């Protein structure tokens, strides 16, 4: 009788371990799916592209590549020549507004500009950071208050003193079209 009781105890223990293992596996799968789902939810796409290819998407109006494309560095270096004019610029997206994708910080080395979208008519996906884009729009320079800089930093997801925008002035491009490469 002791051998039968012992065998039942071992068998019960094996079944319990298997049930626990199955539950842990299930919990791990559920957790993994929840993490993946949370990552997917963080990307916000409030605008549909006006042009879509296997290589890129265009937002706003279709991009017209009829003139020379300048880099952000060239644009800022020769800013007096470009102020209040339509420009065609190639730049890297450093940071994107994480609330809506309604603006981004373009950066090339130490040179940067804030890019917004004409009439607030379109936005870019919030996962566009670190992509090299081409955009057309109007270039300007304006005064920037500390409150505006803090507001922009907050929209970019910065906290505390992580303001990525200088407090004195900013270069600004109001884009009417932007080409964002696909991953």
Q: Give DSSP secondary structure letters for 61-108.
A: S-----S--EEHHHHHHTHHHHTTSEEEEEEEEEEE-TTTS-EEEEEE
Q: Name the token pair of 81.
A: 């020549």
Instruction: Decide if pLDDT at 160 tops 80.
Output: no
Does one domain contain both 115 and 171?
yes
Q: Looking at the domain assignment, is residue 46 inside a domain?
A: no
Alpha-carbon span 106 to 125, nearest angstrom? 15
Does one domain contain both 62 and 36?
no
Does one domain contain both 2 and 62?
no
Higher pLDDT, 156 or 10: 156
Does one domain contain both 35 and 61?
no
Does one domain contain both 17 and 95?
no
Predicted TM-score (pTM) of this structure: 0.69
Does one domain contain both 36 and 82?
no
Does one domain contain both 16 and 66?
no
pLDDT tens digits along 117-157? 999 999 999 999 999 999 999 999 988 777 777 766 776 66
Give the domain range for residue 17: 1-41
Does one domain contain both 56 and 85?
yes
Does one domain contain both 154 and 84?
yes
Does one domain contain both 88 and 8?
no
pLDDT tens digits along 47-90? 999 999 999 999 999 999 877 899 999 999 999 999 999 999 99
Does one domain contain both 5 and 72?
no
Q: Looking at the domain assignment, is residue 159 inside a domain?
A: yes
Domain count, the chain: 2
**CATH number of the domain to which 94 belongs:** 2.40.50.200
């Amino acid at each position: 009788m002791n051998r039968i009781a012992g065998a039942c105890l071992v068998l019960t223990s094996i079944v319990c371990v298997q049930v626990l293992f199955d539950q842990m596996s299930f919990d791990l799968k559920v957790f993994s799916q929840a993490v993946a789902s949370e990552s997917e939810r963080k990307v916000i796409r409030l605008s549909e592209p006006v042009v879509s290819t296997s290589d890129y998407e265009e937002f706003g109006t279709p991009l017209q590549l009829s003139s020379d494309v300048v880099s952000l560095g060239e644009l800022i270096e020769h800013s007096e020549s470009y102020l209040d004019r339509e420009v065609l610029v190639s730049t890297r997206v450093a940071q994107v507004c994480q609330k809506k994708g309604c603006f981004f910080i373009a950066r090339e080395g130490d040179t940067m500009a804030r890019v917004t979208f004409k009439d607030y008519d379109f936005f870019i996906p919030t996962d566009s950071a670190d992509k090299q884009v081409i955009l057309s729009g109007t270039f300007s320079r304006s005064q920037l208050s500390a409150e505006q800089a803090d507001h922009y930093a907050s929209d970019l997801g910065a906290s505390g003193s992580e303001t990525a925008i200088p407090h004195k002035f900013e270069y600004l491009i109001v884009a009417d079209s932007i080409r964002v490469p696909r991953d």
